[in-house]
Copies of this chain bind each other. A is one copy, B any other.
Amino acid sequence: MNNNENIIKLEQVVFSYPGSNITTLNHLDLEINRGDRLGMMAPNGSGKTTLLHTIMGLCKPNSGIIKIFGKQLKNEKDFAPIRTKIGLLFQDSDDQLFCPTVLEDVAFGPLNLGFSQEDAIKIARETLAKLGIEDFEQSVTHRMSGGQKRLVALAAVLAMQPEVLLLDEPTAGLDNKVKNKLINILNNIDITFLVISHEFDFIKAVTDKIYSMEEGRVLTDDKIHIHRHEHVHKHGRHPHVHK
């Protein structure tokens, strides 16, 4: 496999939310190659979620070029087929699980891809089994815990058999057990991915490179100074102040 094959390429992309005068993405460049396992760590509001939505064609850039699988994408029509090949895990699983039962939710994607009813169910069951949550098949999503929902949402995305995964803060609010399960899954999956997280340990454990964002641009320099809080301290009432 050509390891330098460009899967996603953004060139000079500019985007600002309608009605806002802030340029959220400002002449942004980004390349994701097949086999990449990228991490992204950047402050709140720096535009990480917006970036993922732009890749998926959910936010239409004001200017710039988006190339996916080597083809330049311009309008809704170009993006529609691409969306099934890129799996986006949303920041809030409740946004992503909208069918009555877990099985239907996971089968939703394959059905849209044109699989028959039986095949879709078969794919859904296999995916659930792969993540070790096959017991939830008939559960009603809104009665599940945060961690369980996150795994079901991941199953729903994986059932589309995407070529790239974009994960938006998959670990927020999860305990270490589920976090380790996720680490495990990501480390054993053969897929290109970009994961956003605020947790250094997690990102470090699953990715090869860590990017950041600043002023609407991606910083790819491997030497980015990610300020890690190495010095955990016990303290009194007036501790050392972090700047």
* A contacts, CB < 8 Å to B: 42-46, 91, 145-148, 169, 172-180, 183-184, 187-188, 190, 198-201, 204-205, 208, 227, 229, 232-235, 237-239, 241-243
Task: List 13 additional A-B contacts (Cβ < 8 Å) besides A45-B147, A173-B173, A205-B235.
Answer: A43-B175, A43-B178, A44-B175, A46-B175, A169-B173, A184-B241, A184-B242, A187-B235, A187-B237, A187-B241, A199-B199, A201-B232, A205-B229
Copies in the complex: 2
A238-B173 CB under 8 A given contacts A44-B145, A45-B148 = no
Residue of B with least CB distance to A189: B237
- Complex Cα distance, B148 from A51, in Å, reads 20
B175 touches A173 (CB 8 A): no
Closest A-B pairs by Cβ, 5 of them: A45-B145, A44-B147, A43-B175, A180-B242, A172-B173
- Complex Cα distance, B173 from A91, in Å, reads 9
A176 touches B227 (CB 8 A): yes
Residue of B with least CB distance to A150: B44
- Complex Cα distance, B243 from A208, in Å, reads 22
A183 touches B44 (CB 8 A): no
